[in-house]
Structure 1
Amino acid sequence: MFFYGQSISLMGTSMQTSAQSWLVLELTNSSFHLGLLSAVQFLPMTLLSFIAGVLADRFSKQKLLLITQSFLTLLAVALAVLTQMHAIKFWHVLIIGYMTGIANAVDM
C-alpha cells in the first residue's frame, strides 16, 4: 500500500514540478526566472535534510508522511485555483515552489 501510494505521489510531484516550470516560462518568458524557481524548489532539500532526519527519528513516520502529503496536496490545490482564476503571479509560483521544497525535504 505504501509503495503504490508513494508511486502515485511521486508522479503527481513530477507533474507539478513540470507544470510549475512551464507556468513560469509562460508568465515571464525568462530562463533566469526558471532557474530561480528550480533553485528555490531544491534548496530546502540541501539545507533541511539534517533537520528532516531529526524529525524522522523523533516522530512517527506515518504521521510525518500524512502531514507532508496533506500539505503538498493543499499547495497543489492552491496552485490550481490561482491558475484557473488567472490570478497567478510569478511570486505565487516561487512561494508555492519553496513550500513544496520544504515539504519534500521532510517527506523524503
Structure 2
Amino acid sequence: MAITITEAAAKHVQQFLSNRGKGIGIRLAVRTSGCSGMAYEMEFADELDEDDQVFEDLGVKVIIDPKSLVYLDGTEIDYTKEGLNEGFKFNNPNAKGECGCGESFQV
C-alpha cells in the first residue's frame, strides 16, 4: 500500500503548512458525494488518530484513515495548473470513472 506525492504538490503543501504556522501534514479521505458516488476530501492535519495510516513522500506526511485507504491505495497527489485553473489532482488507479465536472469518482 502506498500513497505518493509529486514535487509540485509537495512544494505547495509545504508552503501552505509554513504559511499556516502549524500542522504535521495533510489528511486525505473519501466521502460519499457527487454524481459518481465518491469525492476526495483533503485538509491540514494537526494530530494523528490511533488507526491512521501515514505515508511520507518528499518530506510531506499524507495521513489516511483505514476506511478511505481501500479507495486511495496507489493514488498519486499532484498539483497542476491548466490555464486559469490550478489545484490538487488525484491520479487514482482505483477510480473506474469520474463525473463530468471532475468533483467525484466511482470505484
Rg larger in structure: 1
TM-score of the superposition, structure 1-length normalised?
0.29
Higher relative contact order (CA closer than 8 Å, sequence separation 6+): 1
Give 1 or 2: higher strand fraction: 2
TM-score of the superposition, structure 2-length normalised?
0.29
Give 1 or 2: higher helix fraction: 1
